[in-house]
Structure 1
């Protein structure tokens, strides 16, 4: 059985086919997901033993996912791992070696369009709605943080969420200051984390500290998923590869804007009142030019 979606990760294939798996196959799948992808990088005998299942069980499951056999499955996991840790130079080499003879603008447009399609087709709507309600819940404080590249997304998110609701904190990108924020975190608070490859160790540490305090974590990451996923309550995977040494934030931004719009609607008409009062303050400070 060929792969139904050659671009899908093994994690996504497991989720897609999970309902068709037997109890023992699900046991292996769960073991793999708990320590992904490391739990699947050994020989078939070792991974079966570690999961407490038989080798035929592993062989049957990988075939149900669409792989020709365990070597094909193993190779796919290794490719995902390599993609996770690749730097800008290697990323550019990867796409240049396979680049078609068309203008960069055309290839860029095609890649971005495909990223957007894959990102939104893989969003679980029920999880999206629950995350939206959590983001709109002002009983707890909302914290937003990003990393070296994604701090721009965190800043954008903060600007909008601060207008939509009360009690929003933009954590600085300096991890040395994070213990001060964690000190005030309590159960029921929400932490939005942006983390894409190459994943930042400090963000994973922050997620662990927040999770220990009962903070609900919303992770916005790439298709391979940041290690923060092991601590997150809501995970949104965004496809990011483009013909460049750098990954794209376009699908990530689109997903963020969808969350912002949904949170705004969840809080309406309270948000409308905030918008109107905010405009009055803008008028008072003459921040924006008015045309008569």
Structure 2
């Protein structure tokens, strides 16, 4: 499976509107524990979804596979991709690396990631997520992991200006349980979790969900286990010709979210920005040239 190829999850999402009731039931069953859900026998998948064996066979063909074995083979490749280390990622693209300059190759991969990701995002889901993040009646928590804490911090720094009642949590520290003490039902968590998914992040999300919090997940194309708890999930394409995954698409998502939430809360944001600028002037944080 190539990084730019459609995942089975993508294929299912693209076909949802054309599926029969039984096929749609099967589709949701597959996505519930994706991609591990389809690794067992065909009869087991049919039983778990509460549909017939012919329904599974028909659905697999609708997704573009010749049969169930080919479908399972693709799922196994996706599982391998989810667990790749930086060295394995490097070896995957380096073997067949074309001769063009890295600037062009990398940019082409990022553009492809953006195109595939945006094709999978429902604008209504994005608007709903932004409305949740903008709701100042709810405390907002932003959670990142070992690498994704940089994305979480970027979102947090902007949201600090845009709205009050906000907490930045790093699941990699041993202090995050303290941050959950005051979580109330309806509070909002924006959680970042990319492959290789972190156990602390999942446990944190489970505890927040148990407290009645609403979760917005920003993950990759294979989806973090947190997606089973999330009210809204955004799956970003992240594969580029590098030993490390790309943050370009997740960053595009959060910068767009910042812009939308700012617009939704503009009166509050303008007042907070004016007061913050006064503080900057008093502290002489920035140089002035006039």
Asked if 1:217 is matched to 2:218, the reply is no
Secondary structure (helix, strand or coil) at the match of 1:206 reads helix
**Partner in structure 2 of residue 73 of structure 1:** 71
2: CA distance between counterparts of 1:152 and 1:23?
42
**Partner in structure 2 of residue 151 of structure 1:** 149
Correspondent of 1:38 among 36, 39, 46: 36
Measured after TM superposition, the shift of residue 26 of structure 1 is 2.1
Correspondent of 1:247 among 222, 245, 248: 245
2: CA distance between counterparts of 1:91 and 1:41?
23
Show the 5 A alignment for 1:111-260. Answer: 111-260=109-258
2: CA distance between counterparts of 1:118 and 1:95?
19
TM-score scaled to structure 2, two decimals? 0.95
1: CA distance between counterparts of 2:286 and 2:199?
40
Structure 1 residue ranges, 4+ long, deviating more than 4 angstroms after superposition? none
TM-score scaled to structure 1, two decimals? 0.95
Secondary structure (helix, strand or coil) at the match of 1:184 reads coil
1: CA distance between counterparts of 2:151 and 2:264?
21
1: CA distance between counterparts of 2:141 and 2:221?
23
Measured after TM superposition, the shift of residue 43 of structure 1 is 2.3
Q: Conserved in 2, the CA contact under 8 Å of 1:175 and 1:202? A: no
2: CA distance between counterparts of 1:124 and 1:36?
19
2: CA distance between counterparts of 1:144 and 1:212?
17
**Partner in structure 1 of residue 289 of structure 2:** 291
Structure 1: give runs of 5+ residues left out of the alignment. 1-5
**Partner in structure 2 of residue 3 of structure 1:** none
Q: Conserved in 2, the CA contact under 8 Å of 1:144 and 1:170? A: yes
2: CA distance between counterparts of 1:290 and 1:121?
44
2: CA distance between counterparts of 1:171 and 1:45?
43
Q: Conserved in 2, the CA contact under 8 Å of 1:91 and 1:245? A: yes
CA RMSD in angstroms, aligned pairs only: 1.5
Measured after TM superposition, the shift of residue 173 of structure 1 is 4.1
Measured after TM superposition, the shift of residue 140 of structure 1 is 1.1
Cα deviation code 1:249-273 (max 9, x no counterpart): 0111111100011000010122111
Q: Conserved in 2, the CA contact under 8 Å of 1:197 and 1:226? A: yes
Secondary structure (helix, strand or coil) at the match of 2:146 reads coil
**Partner in structure 1 of residue 265 of structure 2:** 267
Cα deviation code 1:195-230 (max 9, x no counterpart): 100000110111111111111111111111111101
Measured after TM superposition, the shift of residue 73 of structure 1 is 1.2
2: CA distance between counterparts of 1:175 and 1:64?
45
Secondary structure (helix, strand or coil) at the match of 1:261 reads helix
Measured after TM superposition, the shift of residue 14 of structure 1 is 1.4
2: CA distance between counterparts of 1:245 and 1:225?
19
Give the paired residue count.
Answer: 288
2: CA distance between counterparts of 1:173 and 1:286?
34
